[in-house]
């Protein structure tokens, strides 16, 4: 990408999109196009078409999505499948119609089969049943990946799809009803410490394992892949290591400085037992994650506290 190329980041105020904007600016890109959801409803085909026709972006990072944890996916299945299908369909089709040189679509590690072997290789997608607690989101994201592949096969479009591990970091969602596990735990422990509570309750058994990727590492990887990867197949982006939810909770308790107990509510679901990505492919291309979990959580917690002050 030229430094003055017109680059559109869909979802620039979200966790991943905002990090991609920061990364592009740090690398000297000067023609970054963004629109808020109030300015451009990506679920509306006519609006998306008019936007692409007017601005003609050369490169697109498709980071816009409706996302959430287990509770949100179970509570709003229609919104999760409709919104994400509409966003992917409209943006990818418009990118084709208006000559976008390259598009990067963000998938997710949670859309791999529930019982796939670990670590998760790219070729495992669609080889088994999905995790029921997020199948609506997963179906829509898989459709987005297949759209990229279909437009590539039929029209030779250079559309790629990446599969990040569980993301966290600056601009994360800390709403306890819709947040993913890491920011939800940060907020729970912070509020418990402030209120002088004796214990914090965590959903599930604590035995499930998760891989966490600091969002600025993802943004660097996305920019790297825009320059260095043109394949049809999806590509994993992660750290290659994971921890149990129990270990995560204990680490966050230590970072926050909460001295109470942790109670595990086994009546609540664990979700998929493990989601560890095989990152051999991207490592061979020359990219590796740089920010360790403790460092990333400490950065995220400082940002969270700054937002409260």
Tens of pLDDT, residues 198-257:
999 999 999 999 999 999 999 999 999 999 999 999 999 999 999 999 999 999 999 999
188 is an annotated ligand-binding site residue = yes
260 is an annotated ligand-binding site residue = no
Give the largest CA-CA distance in the chain: 60
196 is an annotated ligand-binding site residue = no
Residue 269 has pLDDT above 90, yes or no: no
pLDDT value for 74: 85
Q: How far is CA 117 from CA 112, 133, 233, 246, 275, in A?
A: 10, 19, 19, 22, 9
Per-residue pLDDT band at 161 (split at 50, 70, 90): very high
pLDDT value for 133: 86
Per-residue pLDDT band at 62 (split at 50, 70, 90): very high
pLDDT value for 216: 98
Indicate the burial class of 36 (C-beta count within 10 angstroms; 0-12, 13-18, 19 or more). exposed
SS3 of 12-59: CCCHHHHHHHHHHHHCCCCCEECCCCCCCCCCCHHHHHHHHHHHCCCE
Per-residue pLDDT band at 79 (split at 50, 70, 90): very high
Separation between Cα atoms, residue 85 and residue 65, nearest integer Å: 9
What are the φ/ψ torsions at residue 117 (nearest 5 degrees)? -60, 155
164 is an annotated ligand-binding site residue = yes
| Percent of the chain predicted with pLDDT > 90 | 92
Indicate the burial class of 187 (C-beta count within 10 angstroms; 0-12, 13-18, 19 or more). buried
Say whether 112 is catalytic.
no
Tell me the mean pLDDT in the region 15-44. Answer: 97
pLDDT value for 305: 96
15 is an annotated ligand-binding site residue = yes
pLDDT in tens, 248-268: 999 999 999 999 999 999 999
106 is an annotated ligand-binding site residue = yes
Per-chain mean pLDDT for the chain: 96
Looking at the structure of the chain, the number of domains it has is 1
Domain assignment present for 251: no
Tell me the mean pLDDT in the region 60-71. Answer: 91
Q: Pick the catalytic residue from 59, 137, 151, 168.
A: 137
Residue 71 has pLDDT above 90, yes or no: no
Separation between Cα atoms, residue 76 and residue 192, nearest integer Å: 28
Q: How far is CA 167 from CA 39, 219, 249, in A?
A: 26, 11, 16
pLDDT value for 294: 98
Neighbours of 118 (CB within 10 A): 15
Range of the domain at 122: 7-172+212-240+275-291
230 is an annotated ligand-binding site residue = no
Domain assignment present for 281: yes
Domain assignment present for 194: no
Separation between Cα atoms, residue 37 and residue 27, nearest integer Å: 26
Domain assignment present for 93: yes
**Where residue 62 sits, what CATH number does that domain have?**
3.40.50.720
Residue with tokens 């109030």: 38
Residue 97 has pLDDT above 90, yes or no: yes
Domain assignment present for 143: yes
The helix (run of H) or strand (run of E) holding residue 164 is: strand 159-164
User: Whose CA is closest to 85, among 152, 137, 17, 9?
Assistant: 137
Tokens at residue 37, please?
């959801």
114 is an annotated ligand-binding site residue = no
């Amino acid at each position: 990408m030229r430094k003055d190329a017109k680059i559109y980041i869909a979802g620039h105020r979200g966790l991943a999109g905002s990090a991609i904007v920061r990364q592009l600016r740090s690398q000297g890109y000067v023609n970054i196009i963004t629109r808020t959801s109030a300015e451009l409803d990506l679920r509306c085909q006519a609006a998306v078409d008019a936007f692409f026709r007017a601005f003609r972006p050369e490169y697109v990072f498709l980071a816009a999505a409706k996302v959430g944890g287990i509770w949100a996916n179970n509570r709003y299945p229609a919104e999760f499948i409709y919104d994400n299908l509409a966003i992917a369909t409209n943006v990818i089709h418009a990118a084709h119609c208006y000559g976008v040189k390259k598009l990067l679509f963000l998938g997710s590690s949670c859309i791999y089969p529930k019982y796939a072997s670990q670590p998760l290789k790219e070729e495992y997608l669609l080889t088994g049943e999905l995790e029921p607690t997020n199948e609506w989101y997963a179906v829509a994201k898989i459709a987005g990946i297949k759209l990229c592949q279909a437009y590539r096969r039929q029209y030779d479009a250079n559309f790629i799809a990446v599969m990040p591990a569980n993301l966290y970091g600056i601009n994360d969602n800390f709403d306890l009803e819709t947040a993913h596990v890491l920011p939800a735990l940060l907020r729970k422990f912070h509020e418990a410490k402030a209120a002088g509570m004796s214990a914090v309750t965590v959903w599930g058994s604590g035995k499930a394992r998760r891989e966490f990727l600091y969002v600025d590492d993802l943004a660097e990887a996305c920019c790297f892949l825009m320059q260095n990867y043109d394949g049809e197949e999806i590509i994993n982006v992660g750290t290659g290591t994971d921890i149990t939810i129990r270990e995560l909770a204990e680490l966050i308790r230590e970072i926050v400085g909460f001295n109470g107990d942790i109670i595990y509510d086994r009546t609540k679901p664990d979700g998929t037992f493990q989601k560890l990505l095989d990152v051999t492919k991207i490592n061979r291309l020359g990219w590796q994650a740089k920010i360790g979990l403790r460092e990333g959580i400490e950065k995220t917690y400082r940002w969270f506290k700054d937002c409260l002050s």
